Amino acid sequence: MTSARITLARDFTVGDVPRRLFGSFVEHMGRCVYTGIFEPGHPAADESGFRTDVLELVREMGPTVVRYPGGNFVSGYNWEDGVGPVDSRPRRLDGAWHTLETNAFGLHEFMDWSRLADVEVMQAINLGTRGVDAARELVEYANHPSGTYLSDLRRKNGAEEPFDIRLWCLGNELDGPWQIGHKTPEEYGRLAKEAAKAMRYVDPTIELVAVGSSNSGMPTFGEWEHTVLSHTYDEVDYISLHAYYQEHDGDAASFLACALDMDYFIESVVATADAVRAKGRHKKRINLSFDEWNVWYQRGLDTEDQLHRVQESGWREHPRLIEDEYTMTDAVVVGTLLNSLLRHGDRVHIANQAQLVNVIAPIRSDENGPAWRQAIFWPFARMAELARGRILSASVSSDRMSTDQFGDADIVDASSTWDEENSQVAVFLANRSLDDAAEVDLTLHGFTASGIARAEVLQAPDGADRHVSNTSDNERVRLQNLPGVRVADGGVKLSLPALSWAVVVVDVTV
């Protein structure tokens, strides 16, 4: 048995919960779009071809903002290919994922889908093979009301009112040699600055995200952010971060502690951005957009082999690609990554779990078949629902575990929010131990626990090991009631099963 004490104080807060923290990502990659969110002819498809079974799960999961259309895909994409009459749109080769893009789904379709899903759009532009002109023209097409060639073309194509897209990504992962149009930080910084200026000349109300490092292990990490922001600081609002995690060679302990790397990544980028601010004597702060993150088995499931097989099979439409099947272990890790993002919500104002459907996704669907929730669906869904109000600064004193990659880590990981309107404190907890339950003592200062409004836990079902996962006909990993949670001495006591993620919502008085 392990133990942890979590102390929360009403007067010690990080900031307001940024609602855009619970974002997702739709890319023209594999089966995310085609047979994912869009499958004309499916029994559950509506008149627009949108899968209503997938839409129902998206609404249940609760993402607030969705990034589109990529990802690596966007660095070779012409946005004009995805507008106008569908039967007149060109078929193109997509070099990023070696697929044939039909362009049957484009900007108008995504905007229609986003309204049904009740999500904000985060639009990425191509700064790989294209530049300033295409960027400003896309803003004019999307956001200008009428009276110009491009705004009137949008109206001719069926959208009388502007799309009013607020969030824009200035390219994608251009620090990576794999990226179409890969650039040095100087090259990208200059281009991003000029694209941002031109876009804001068209619509000064938009918010812009500069490309940061693709992961904290990139050889240019730190230098990239410093150089890019030295060029773009006055023109952008956010710098991006991307990170994917996986279990290596059975090292479960390091995998379960990988949120420590996310903490380090975030805090390093904040420090770099603030150093550029100080050097340039800028008044505003640059905040962070963690617009790609998830568990992704890039070696364990032989992603390179998958891509090689796709290439050998020739140019095909929406082949299966990196459709990871997520386990109970993965769900606990995703819960800790969400905790890291929430704990840093004063500076991480946007985050997008990649991706939404089929491709390393919380939601899976079969072509002409059912849709279902993966194990990682649940921590995201509950945090998107219940993390409201102010982020509390959680002081955690926990027994520790040893890891090869990150040294010692807390066995119990936590984040918390204070919803003053409903007089509730929500605590999001993970037990990283594979073997031992954890006794948790929640101490409150500035408010007193009066009851337990909700207590749920995600754990492997009886008889299953940590690798248990969900399938189309058996969603074995699901939230269930967490027994034994009780109010004691104005605080809360509870027991977390081994390898579990839980949420406890406490009614409080002040």
Model pLDDT, residue 298: 85
Is 173 designated active site? yes
Model pLDDT, residue 488: 94
Model pLDDT, residue 302: 52
**Residue 173 in this model has a pLDDT that exceeds 70:** yes
Model pLDDT, residue 463: 85
Model pLDDT, residue 304: 61
Average pLDDT over residues 396-420: 97
Half-sphere exposure of 236 (CA within 13 A, CB side): 33
498 to 86, 251, 432: CA distances (angstroms): 52, 17, 7
Average pLDDT over residues 151-172: 98
CB neighbourhood size of 404 (10 A): 11
**Residue 306 in this model has a pLDDT that exceeds 70:** no
**Residue 373 in this model has a pLDDT that exceeds 50:** yes
Q: pLDDT tens digit string along 452-504? A: 999 999 999 998 999 999 999 999 999 999 999 999 988 999 999 999 999 99
In sequence order, the 6+-apart residues with CB closer than 8 A to the CB of 267 are 344
Q: What's the farthest any 2 CA atoms get from each other in the chain?
A: 69
**Residue 310 in this model has a pLDDT that exceeds 80:** no
- 3 state SS of 136: helix
Average pLDDT over residues 171-190: 98
CB neighbourhood size of 186 (10 A): 12
Q: What is the mean pLDDT of the chain?
A: 96
Is 27 designated active site? no
DSSP letter (8 states) at residue 215: S
Q: Give the residue among 36, 37, 27 at the shortest CA–CA distance from 97.
A: 27
**Residue 149 in this model has a pLDDT that exceeds 70:** yes
Model pLDDT, residue 20: 98
More confident residue, 417 or 313: 417
Measured between its terminal Cα atoms, the distance across the chain in Å is 33
Share of the chain above pLDDT 90, in %: 95
- Classify burial at 224, counting beta carbons within 10 Å of its beta carbon; exposed 0-12, middle 13-18, buried 19 or more: buried
Model pLDDT, residue 303: 57
For residue 69, whether the previous peptide bond is cis, meaning omega lies within 30 degrees of 0, is yes
Model pLDDT, residue 305: 66
pTM of the entire predicted model: 0.96
The separation between CA 410 and the C-alpha centre of its own chain, rounded to angstroms, equals 24
300 pLDDT band (50/70/90 cuts)? very low
**Residue 308 in this model has a pLDDT that exceeds 50:** yes
1 pLDDT band (50/70/90 cuts)? confident
Pick the catalytic residue from 39, 109, 140, 292.
Answer: 292
Q: pLDDT tens digit string along 57-104? A: 999 999 999 999 999 999 999 999 999 999 999 999 999 999 999 999
Phi, psi of 44 (to 5 degrees): -100, 10
More confident residue, 89 or 307: 89
Per-residue burial over 260-281, b if 16 or more Cβ lie within 10 Å, else e, is bbbbebbebbbebbeebbeeee
Q: Which domains does the chain have, with CATH numbers?
A: 3-8+390-509 (2.60.40.1180), 18-386 (3.20.20.80)
The separation between CA 154 and the C-alpha centre of its own chain, rounded to angstroms, equals 29
**Residue 220 in this model has a pLDDT that exceeds 60:** yes
Pick the catalytic residue from 109, 173, 225, 247.
Answer: 173
Model pLDDT, residue 301: 41
